Every structure is written in structure tokens, then in C-alpha cells.
Homo-oligomer: A and B are copies of this chain.
Amino acid sequence: MSMDTYPITVGRVTRHVPLVETLPGVRIPLIELMGDVELVNAAAEALLKHLPPETDYLLTMETSPIVLAHAMSEMSGKPYVVVRRRRRPYMQDPIIQEVQSLTLGVSETLWLDSRMAEKLLGQNVSLVVDVVSSGGTIMALEKVAIRAGAKVVARLAAFHQGTNKLPVTFLSEIPILQTA
């Protein structure tokens, strides 16, 4: 099987990533942050230049962007909280937020344990995700932050894809390629 690749650059790091067919005739570059320490650190370093200094917490969610928020937390000293995509057995009175995802065509759910939500109360929060596409996921993450009593001061994404006009700071545009 021949595999086409596409070059993606973040700061000083370039990866030639595989193109995957997500719908018939539509291909997108498949970027994996997990497993790539160098790429994660380059993205974290570049996003931290856009982090408002008044940020108290980074807020991210499962799964891919966790390592990005972790690296940003290590570099900046700001703590981070991870919103889950599945209910965990230990959760008490979690915040439950539906996500309308156009990309996946299904509805998903975000979960934040009340013990984590309490940390965010009254705090300035910067959202951290890997890619903003339809925007459904980051909007749901923002709703979780607001329901926890936090103020969202920044929306940071490593990558942006598609035509949405959301107020998100991102590093690289990912193309959506139509095959002939």
C-alpha cells in the first residue's frame, strides 16, 4: 500500500504525517501528539507565548491533548485539570456536558468530578486542545469551565482545521484535501 504524507510544522519541528481518508474523497493529515515528545514540546513552547499571564489553570480533556497540557504545565508552572470523556467510578456529583461533534457525527459526553470542579471556582482558565475542527469539543470544554465557576481567558489549540470562525489561538492550519 502506498502512503502519501503531508508536512506539518510546529516551531522548529516538522513531521511528514500520513494522510488518512476520513470520508470518501476527503483526506486529512493524521497528527499524533501522543508518543512524540519533541513535537509536543515544540507545540507547548509555542502556545505558551500566547498564554495570558493571569491564567490560574490550564483545562484540557481526554485524550490527545493531555500530553500537550502536561508539557505546558511543566514549562510554565501552571497547574492543569483534565476533563474526562467517560464517567469514572470515583466521581461524585460530576459536571456532565454533552458535546455535539460534527466531525464524528455522534454525540459525546464530558465528565468533570466535583473535586476537580471545585479547584476551578473563581479561577482564570485557559483551554488547551490539540485541534479545533467543527469547534464542538472546545465549546463544550468552555461550558464545563463556566459551569465550574471559572472565567475562560484563552482558547489555545495546536492545530486548526476547516472553516469555523471561533476565537481560538492556534499554531498551524491543517488542510482538508479533496482527492480527484
Please list the residues of chain A having a beta carbon within 8 angstroms of any beta carbon in chain B.
18, 20, 22, 30, 34-35, 37, 40-41, 62-63, 66-67, 70-71, 73-74, 79-82, 84, 89-90, 104, 115-116
Contact = CB atoms under 8 A, between A and B. Distances in A.
A21 to B, nearest CB: 9
6 tightest A-B CB contacts, nearest first: A20-B90, A34-B82, A37-B74, A67-B70, A37-B73, A30-B90
27 contacts: A18-B115, A20-B90, A22-B89, A22-B90, A30-B90, A34-B66, A34-B70, A34-B82, A35-B79, A35-B80, A35-B81, A35-B82, A35-B116, A37-B70, A37-B74, A40-B70, A41-B74, A62-B62, A63-B63, A63-B66, A63-B84, A66-B66, A66-B67, A67-B70, A70-B70, A70-B71, A89-B104
Contacts of A63: 62-63, 66, 84
A90 B104 CA distance: 11
A73 B39 CA distance: 13
Nearest to A78: B37
A115 B84 CA distance: 26
Contacts of A41: 74
Contacts of A104: 89
A67 B30 CA distance: 21
Contacts of A81: 35
Nearest to A104: B89
A37 to B, nearest CB: 5
